[in-house]
Homo-oligomer: A and B are copies of this chain.
Amino acid sequence: MVIGQKTMFVRTAGCDYSCSWCDSAFTWDGSAKEEIRLLTPEQIDAELRELGGGAPGHVTLSGGNPALLRQLGQLIELLHESGAAVALETQGSRWQDWFVAVDELTLSPKPPSSGMKTDWAVLDQIVSRLQDAGSRFSLKVVIFDEEDLRYAAGVHERYPAVPFFLQSGNDRLLEPDAGELLRHLQARYEWLVERVMAEPGWKQVRVLPQLHAWIWGNKRGV
């Protein structure tokens, strides 16, 4: 729901999932342990200002799973005071009361190819709480294969009133050549578009690529 947005990323460490194709596994698999830092909201805000040359207009909180952190509400409050809009992405496995303070919340339940299991009771409750609060949120499912697409159809059917996004996933996380990756990801995206076009059952859906990978390939920190 925020594709193309000029934003600054803040990634939290730790995840209750371990998706087979996670493109940010360094946040939870120990491979970047030495880069994890414990920061106060004020320190994060100060660092964003320094990096961005002033107060940020838009900040995205991601992970790992940022919903593991109860105290993130304080950071969101501080960013709002600084004038920034705040987006957040989480798989929808945990509720936090500060969800309702997020300007653009993406719930991204993980399809079968991830190896994870969706807890529907928890997701149901999160969706209904956000709806009750009048929050601006959407659902997104990353797609790698036909089974994922069937899973996504089930999610869309379960929550028909929630804006729904399909995104073609990156299954070449080790491809070092950005041009080669671009050709491959374009073909994967085209496949997904054709599949969705062919089925009258898919109506109000939006189908998107992972644009960052189209530009920066598998590079980190961009």
Tell me the A residues contacting B by CB distance below 8 Å.
2-6, 52-54, 56-58, 85, 165, 179, 182-183, 186, 189-190, 193, 196-197, 200, 202-209, 211, 214-215
Q: With A186-B215, A190-B215, A200-B52 in contact, do A6 and B57 touch (Cβ < 8 Å)?
A: no
Among B6, B52, B196, point to the contact of A6 (Cβ < 8 A): B196
| Chain A interface SS verdict (over half) | mixed
CA distance A207 to B193 in the complex (A): 21
**Given A52-B200, A189-B215, A204-B85, also A165-B4 (CB < 8 A):** yes
Cβ–Cβ contact A3 & B206, under 8 A: yes
Q: How many subunits of this chain does the assembly comprise?
A: 2
| Chain B nearest Cβ from A203, distance in angstroms | 3
A213 to B56, CA, bound (A): 32
Chain B contacts of A183 at CB under 8 A?
Answer: 179, 182
The answer to whether B6 and A202 touch across the interface, beta carbons within 8 angstroms, is yes
Q: Looking at the complex, which one of B57, B182, B203 makes contact with A203 (CB distance below 8 Å)?
A: B57
Given A6-B205, A206-B5, A211-B209, verify A186-B193 contact (CB < 8 Å).
no
